[in-house]
Amino acid sequence: MKKAILATKVGMTQIFDEDGVLTPVTVLQAGPCAVTQVKTVENDGYSAVQVGFCDKKERLVNKPMKGHFDKASVGTKRYVREFRLENAEEYELGQEIKADIFEAGDKVDATATSKGHGYAGAIKRHGFSRGPVTHGSKHHRHTGSSGCATDPGKVFKGKKMAGHYGCKRTTIQNLEVVRIDADNNIILVKGSVPGPKKSLVMLKETVKAGK
């Protein structure tokens, strides 16, 4: 992986290509991101690039983080994330990373926190089939049998049941970059990206190219 950027999800729309084919796309406000730290094998034991994204009021940042941003000569940032890039040594402290780091046709992996659905039943959460809807069945949207008899006398770990649905770190791989608007730092990605609108998205060069 040699390219990565932080973005916020704007929403979804659709575009038409020159042949009139409609493509659903997710609009991402990607960058500009600032390099806040370059980690090396000698100093940190591994190679990585730390970037900051989205400006934040200085009074809302504690003193250690304020000093960290000042050392890189960048403004205070709301989000700070780290990418283990193969070419981390090529980046410089304070360097700006913009949407044009990617090109149309590139394959990327999008990582974000999926939408939360609260406490959901087994039908909505796991796609279970419902029971008979006839009068008197008393089993319409219930989970159904969840345990065993006396032996082993317990519910096995991992059993699909009702519970908290969504709000998990999710990655969708091999998404295609359809269009880049370098002037406005906009990236259009084919298909859907995890998370609600305005959520943080980590866009990275795919690790499964060609598969």
- Residues 91-121 have pLDDT tens digits of 899 899 999 999 998 999 999 999 999 999 9
Q: Is 70 exceeded by the pLDDT of residue 211?
A: no
What's the whole-number mean pLDDT along residues 51-77? 93
Amino acid identity for residue 10 in this structure? V
Distances (CA, A) of 48 to 5, 89, 94, 189: 13, 8, 15, 25
Q: Which of 70, 85, 71, 79 is nearest to 32 (CA)?
A: 79
Q: What is the pTM of this model?
A: 0.84
What single DSSP character describes residue 59?
A: G
- The percentage of residues in the chain with a pLDDT greater than 90, rounded to a whole number, is 72
Q: What confidence tens digit (pLDDT) does each residue in 143-189 have?
A: 888 878 888 888 889 999 999 999 999 999 999 999 999 999 999 99
